[in-house]
Chain A
Amino acid sequence: MQRPILAIAEDFSKYEMLVYDLKKIFQQTIRFSQDKPTRKKDMLWYENLLEHSSIKDQVFFMAEQKKVDQNFYKFQLRCPSYCEKPIFRFDSDGSAHQNKSEKLKLQSVPTPHFNKFNNKGESIAYQTPELENIDYSELQRIGDFFVLFCEQCHLRYIDGTFPFIESGDTRIFQLPVQADDLLEGIKFPT
């Protein structure tokens, strides 16, 4: 169950500084690697410490991408000393989030979407106009979404420009690679 995060509700101004104040990454090009040290063996992974302009806590940028589906990835900001969950996140694909405090008809926010917290510590999904108007039949580029993420949470390379991200090479895993159709190649016995 998604319970409100107490640390965020208690000190929301810190949350806003963590997410919206300038953060710098020391690597200009982000490349996924395959050695994610967790249980999720189906994901490529990247993590790096950021330099935060106003907060001393360690803030990390983390990204993961499904090995079998290049279009399924997440970017997130983490600050483990403040809150266990990612404090800000972008989901390219996956289930629609339920914003429970909204009127019912407005509760469903499909992916791609961003996830932030409100001043009650509740998880809120939202789409920027660029995401709302996406044509799902067209292939989306990870780089475009990454720039959007950097804009939303004020993340830059040390020289002030946007960093780049490179999609992982999923061919090396010899798994069935899904294009945009996640049921392609799957056998449904009759």
Chain B
Amino acid sequence: MNLLEVFTEVKESFCSLWKAKYRGNTLEIITHYTSPDSKFISVFITERDGKYIVTDGGWLMSGEYYESSLLKTKEFDPLLFYYTSFYKLRKTSNGVNDLYFSSTSEIDMVPNKVHDLAQFISQSLYTFHSLYEIDQAKDVQQREKFLGGVNNFLERIYLRKDDTKLQFGKSLGPKYESVRFNAIATEADSKIVLVKYITGVTPDYYRRSLTNATVDFDIATGSDLNSFIKNKVAIIDDQVSGFQVKKILPYVRQLEKSLDHEVSRWSNKGEIIDMFT
């Protein structure tokens, strides 16, 4: 086996990924660097006042490589800040999006700039993506843990009530298949208690959990089942990292409007028991 041949094959394969497109006075270079969304990173080169400008062309923030609404969240800002200073890049704007760039007057320094800029785009996106995916996985775990804990607790409350049926993860009814509650208690007189559990590992996930509950309670209130609803209960996880009062308070208040009373804190079990008596 000729290992030099292997090296040649590897090198040529990588090199053949590089492509170029003329765009008026600008050259687009498609590099071999990638994004988590299976895109190859492009950098753009143009000449201004005797200098070579190397830039992303605004494509990073326009969503060319990754969903732009996610990139415009606060979570991407610190990464951009870190990587722009790490690669010593500067920022300008095309009127719609920010452009990242650096410049040099020496032609043999252009490859360095291309390398740094492509790495900047690729690394900031992969870092963001990994944090996002890790949070998502953590959130699923946390949700399951909290669900198990509250389910057990409610079962114990309802053990003492023979005339009440407690069901978990049930929809509001055949007409409202997608409107689900974590628990629905049906009492002897057919009156129901609707229960939502609120948790989230980041304030973002927590807000999502809150708004989802608010909407579902509102749908229940507006439905023809409203006259059967005895109580609406939101049990909120106040011991999780996403529970940051300042960031979620308006959403808690909105949920409380839907409930017509305060939410119930998981740390105060007595408060929760009161809701079911």
**Measuring CB to CB, which residues of chain A are less than 8 angstroms from any residue of chain B?**
1-2, 39-40, 42, 68, 94-98, 100, 103-105, 107-108, 110, 123, 136-137, 175-176, 178-184, 186-190
Cα distance A179–B22 in the bound complex, in angstroms:
12
Query: Is B261 close to A, CB under 8 A?
Result: no
Residue of A nearest to B18 (CB): A108
15 contacts between A and B (CB under 8 A): A2-B37, A42-B62, A94-B59, A95-B59, A96-B19, A103-B13, A105-B17, A107-B17, A108-B32, A136-B22, A175-B96, A182-B94, A183-B26, A186-B93, A186-B99
Q: Mark B86-107, 1 if CB is under 8 A from A, else 0.
A: 0000101111100101010000
Chain B residues near A187: list those with CB within 8 A: 92
Cα distance A183–B103 in the bound complex, in angstroms:
14
Cα distance A175–B129 in the bound complex, in angstroms:
32
**Measuring CB to CB, which residues of chain B are less than 8 angstroms from any residue of chain A?**
12-14, 16-17, 19, 21-26, 30, 32, 34-42, 44, 46, 48-49, 51, 53, 55, 57-59, 62-65, 68-69, 90, 92-96, 99, 101, 103, 129, 133
- A182 interface neighbour in B17, B44, B49, Cβ under 8 Å: B44
- Given contact pairs A1-B36, A181-B26, A182-B44, A189 touches B95 in the complex (Cβ within 8 A): no
Chain B residues near A137: list those with CB within 8 A: 22
Residue of A nearest to B36 (CB): A1
Cα distance A189–B49 in the bound complex, in angstroms:
11
Cα distance A167–B129 in the bound complex, in angstroms:
35
The reply to whether B64 and A94 form a contact with Cβ atoms under 8 Å apart is: yes
The reply to whether A104 and B17 form a contact with Cβ atoms under 8 Å apart is: yes
The reply to whether A110 and B38 form a contact with Cβ atoms under 8 Å apart is: no
Cα distance A108–B41 in the bound complex, in angstroms:
10
- Given contact pairs A95-B59, A184-B25, A189 touches B90 in the complex (Cβ within 8 A): yes
Cα distance A179–B25 in the bound complex, in angstroms:
10
Given contacts A2-B38, A105-B12, 6 further A-B contacts (CB under 8 A): A95-B64, A96-B30, A108-B17, A108-B40, A136-B23, A137-B22
The 5 lowest CB-CB distance pairs between A and B, nearest first, are: A181-B24, A105-B13, A96-B40, A98-B38, A95-B39
The reply to whether A179 and B24 form a contact with Cβ atoms under 8 Å apart is: yes
Cα distance A96–B49 in the bound complex, in angstroms:
30
The reply to whether B103 and A1 form a contact with Cβ atoms under 8 Å apart is: no
Residue of A nearest to B92 (CB): A188
Residue of B nearest to A122 (CB): B38
Q: How far is the CB of A20 from chain B (nearest CB, A)?
A: 24
Chain B residues near A181: list those with CB within 8 A: 23-26, 46
Cα distance A108–B25 in the bound complex, in angstroms:
24
Chain B residues near A178: list those with CB within 8 A: 94
Cα distance A97–B65 in the bound complex, in angstroms:
10
Residue of A nearest to B39 (CB): A95
Cα distance A100–B17 in the bound complex, in angstroms:
13
Cα distance A42–B97 in the bound complex, in angstroms:
10
Residue of A nearest to B32 (CB): A108
Cα distance A103–B96 in the bound complex, in angstroms:
37
The reply to whether A98 and B34 form a contact with Cβ atoms under 8 Å apart is: yes
Of A1, A39, A136, A187, most buried by chain B (CB within 10 Å of CB) is A1
Cα distance A183–B101 in the bound complex, in angstroms:
11
